[in-house]
Chains A and B, each alone.
Chain A
Amino acid sequence: MDPEIPVLSVMDMGVVRDVIHSDEGWKVTITPTYSGCPAMQTIESDILECLNAKLDEPVTVETVLRPAWTTDWMTDEGKARLREYGIAPPEDPTVDKRALMGETDAIACPNCGSKNTQMVSEFGSTACKSLFKCNDCLEPFDYFKCLR
């Protein structure tokens, strides 16, 4: 599971790119979401720990930069679970831009559903999220930024 967002798996995030089996064992290829994402180290060790416990053959994890990660790879189930957890999932780029330019009526509050929301800061609790607040229910919430 994603170390920062416990309802999402690294498969939902599109972080795991490939799993290849050869004579040398298993190779899992992952790609970082953001360049500086500090969770990548944990993700790598979690994958190794999990697979080493279940498989007899050696397991290696390789990090690749290409193709560059994008929120387009997040599954719909992943987005639904984000919303349930209280994080607004990434919207398509036009909505994203309007939201981050301060236009209200763009991002729905994951707590009450209202679109009467506004951005507090482009950067939130982690590099991948922005901080928003709902003008109706007054709850603050994170928005997972669209990255393309």
Chain B
Amino acid sequence: MTQQEAIFEYILRMGDNSLILGHRLSEWCGHGPILEQDIALTNIALDLIGQSRNYLTAAGNVEGKGRSEDDLAFFRIERDFKNVLLVEQPNGDWGVTLARQFLFDHFHYLVLQDLRNSSHEELRDIAEKSIKEVTYHVRYSSDWMKRLGDGTEESHRRVQQGIDDLWRYTGEMFEMDEVDAMLVEAGIAPDLSLLKEKWHENVSAVLKEATIDVPEEQFMQTGGKKGIHTEHLGYLLAEMQHLPRTYPDAKW
């Protein structure tokens, strides 16, 4: 693998995480429990999709085969998507959705913090911009952990279930493979394994305040970064890509 190929892969991972999670959040549009929270989720979705546009455009440039952000978003199949498994998990109820957001936001923030020092100019610029928005995401989802965890018996039960069911997908975020290793050496990307402890510390602190039990160490699901996804991604892409695939020549 050349460095250029590794950079392409890496940017796709960042872009796909934001795109898939942004899509999941936008599924809540019109279905939120109250209007203000419906708007909150769609605003976060908008931030994420905007960031994804930046990443996918950059990826297309690095790849050098003329693929645009739209080509990459709408005309790849599951095997070519490199998001982590966590973000493609279904929305479930409000507790599950916010648990998923919380677990991802804390990871996202730490990665962006390091990417601001990347020697790759485009990645560095996108990270510098994105972290300002992700700062608000982290605060929002952490706040909701406390509200739900330290809320009613039902809210506590539902968010605890969300954390318990999603925990098995959190390990993948910190796995290093040959792409990560190559880019760490080049000063382009962070060493994810070094972020794991800080993530666990931050996440545990919030969960403790929220009276939510931190799940025990367990077997972690993996494969997203290699394009091996859970059964959910296929259905998600079928919906997300349906329109452009049906009318590939359509223009706004």
Contact = CB atoms under 8 A, between A and B. Distances in A.
A38 B46 CA distance: 9
A145 to B, nearest CB: 7
A36 B39 contact: no
A66 B125 contact: yes
Contacts of B47: 34-36, 127
Interface residues of B, number: 26
Interface stretch (A18-26, A50-58, A115-123): A115-123
B140 A35 contact: no
A108 interface: no
Given A35-B53, A37-B50, A145-B136, A69 B129 contact: yes
A59 to B, nearest CB: 22
B36 A32 contact: no
Contact of B50 (A35, A69, A120, A122): A35
Interface in A26-64: 32, 34-38
A123 B50 contact: no
A86 interface: no
B132 to A, nearest CB: 5
A34 B50 contact: yes
Interface in A85-105: 100
Contacts of B49: 36
Contact of A123 (B43, B51, B53): B43
A123 B44 contact: yes
Contacts of A68: 125, 128-129, 132
A34 B48 CA distance: 10
Interface residues of A, number: 25
Interface string A110-139: 000000000011111111000100000000
B119 interface: no
Nearest to B136: A122
Interface in B43-71: 43-51, 53-54
B126 interface: yes
Contacts of B132: 68, 70, 147-148
Contacts of B139: 100, 122
Interface string B10-45: 000000000000000000000000001101100111
Interface of B: 36-37, 39-40, 43-51, 53-54, 125-126, 128-130, 132-133, 136, 139-140, 143
Interface of A: 32, 34-38, 65-70, 100, 120-127, 131, 145, 147-148
20 contacts: A34-B133, A35-B51, A36-B48, A36-B49, A38-B46, A65-B54, A65-B126, A66-B125, A67-B128, A68-B132, A69-B129, A121-B40, A122-B136, A123-B39, A124-B39, A125-B39, A127-B46, A127-B47, A131-B36, A147-B133
Closest 3 CB pairs between A and B? A36-B50, A35-B50, A36-B46
